[in-house]
Structure 1
């Protein structure tokens, strides 16, 4: 018998600074994605921006997702499904996207659970760095 899915998230509160970061970098939230989502720091690489965006999905931080999206492709608004629980991120590969690059590509698999059970999203995302800030452009 398959166990039932965990209850849907009813809060979009970020984790405590000493809790494991949702992006699974191995760091705690306060040393990883927390400062980025709070606007206290900028992502030094495309991969770090992608990890912080995963964390923003996991914590339902629509404002951060929109702010980290390139204006040329950014939607006017987001309508995140609060019943989706993002729980694992696997970074498959990166191309460019370092601190001195202006473009980067990150391929990843994001795992989530919804009312239908466990699922995954595989994406190759493109990023650009403008005025010292990495921005998400699009993904396939």
Structure 2
């Protein structure tokens, strides 16, 4: 077996950790300790098309009834850069740039996402403010 095939899969969130030591923990049910950790795990969930996780970590007041990530089959997520993250009590925001390709053409999503911590202490994604590129 070659070294490349035995190396653990790096987490798509950009942490430089193995997926199993990073976002997989949150995808498995452990609550993300910070809004930034939740945002990173949600990015990774988009990469891996984990619709149930995305819906479960979306605030019920803004959550869609369903997602169809399979319909976005041409999206190839490339990278995530967190620009800024701040928490103030049970509210938080995370500004990020996510780069992706559709049919070989490069795009970027620049957003400031809002998060809220619920009564159980879990962070939930509320909504996002897209930035002009």
TM range (shorter): 0.7 to 0.9
Aligned residues of 1:33 and 1:51 also touching (Cα < 8 A): yes
Partner of 1:35: 25
TM-score, normalised to structure 2, is 0.86
Distance 1:127 1:52 in 2: 13
Distance 1:70 1:125 in 2: 12
**Where has structure 1 moved over 2 Å in runs of 4 or more?**
none
Distance 1:67 1:25 in 2: 22
Does 1:64 find its partner at 2:25?
A: no
- Gap regions ≥5 residues in structure 2: 1-5
Distance 2:123 2:7 in 1: 23
Aligned residues of 1:17 and 1:29 also touching (Cα < 8 A): no
Distance 1:133 1:17 in 2: 32
CA displacement 1:45-71 (0-9 Å, x = unmatched): 000000000000001111111000000
- Gap regions ≥5 residues in structure 1: 1-15
Change (3 A) 1:58 1:17: farther
Aligned residues of 1:17 and 1:31 also touching (Cα < 8 A): no
1:132 aligns to what SS in structure 2?
coil
TM-score, normalised to structure 1, is 0.82
Distance 2:78 2:23 in 1: 15
Relative to its length, the structure with more helix (as a share) is: 2
Q: How many residues align?
A: 121
- Superposition RMSD on alpha carbons, in Å? 1.6
Distance 1:85 1:32 in 2: 21
